[in-house]
Homo-oligomer: A and B are copies of this chain.
């Protein structure tokens, strides 16, 4: 049974030490707890600095963990959510007959991290990476209402008009968001693209934190009945998928 690579183990121990320290550490404060000679510790730190995992303060010569390590984690968050949700998203497109969107908050927009084509073979464009307005889409509304910390507040948004139906009054939008909070899901009828509507439900991790949103999008007349209410079966399918995905993230609805 082959062993492990000592220098890599030492580097990892160093990163853990820096991660759990309450402040930037000096070389001797790193070498001593790890029982390493100073030049050995210095060589490892120099390498970690070169690869961008550790920063060194120019004046004090003290070392801290670098932001690159944090970025490593959040990039993985995005892909982690995608990999955990895509099977359910695919399945939802099949059962609903509509296209399905998986989104995450990204500043003043919602960014699609996964997109499933409407399964009718019609010509479609892959929308992964697309950024949608928060106020005029169901996925965006869902985040505005249920992840208010992760996105700007309604009055901070540039409420641009996309169609004749787009809500651009803060007061009206705020009322809609209150309804979303009450129901637990969001809806939108032709506000972003004429004739196209959507519904959306939040994805939560443990502790209830909303980290993403699952949405169904399609022609208004297929998603909604005459009174502007989505078909109950469709809402049920959406909420069920969102619930399953959330459970897989350590959360629930």
Chain A residues in the interface with B (C-beta under 8 A): 2, 4-5, 7-9, 11-13, 15-16, 18-24, 43-44, 46-48, 50-53, 65, 69-73, 75-77, 79, 82-83, 107, 146-153, 207-210
Contact = CB atoms under 8 A, between A and B. Distances in A.
Nearest to A114: B22
B75 A72 contact: no
A213 B234 CA distance: 41
A208 to B, nearest CB: 6
Q: Which 10 A-B pairs have the closest CB atoms?
A: A12-B51, A19-B72, A4-B47, A5-B47, A70-B73, A8-B47, A73-B73, A8-B11, A22-B79, A4-B50
A208 B79 contact: no
Number of copies: 2
A4 to B, nearest CB: 4
Given A70-B77, A148-B149, 6 more contacts: A4-B50, A5-B44, A22-B82, A73-B73, A149-B208, A149-B209
B207 A150 contact: yes
Contact of A83 (B20, B23, B73, B148): B23
A5 B5 contact: no
A72 B15 contact: yes
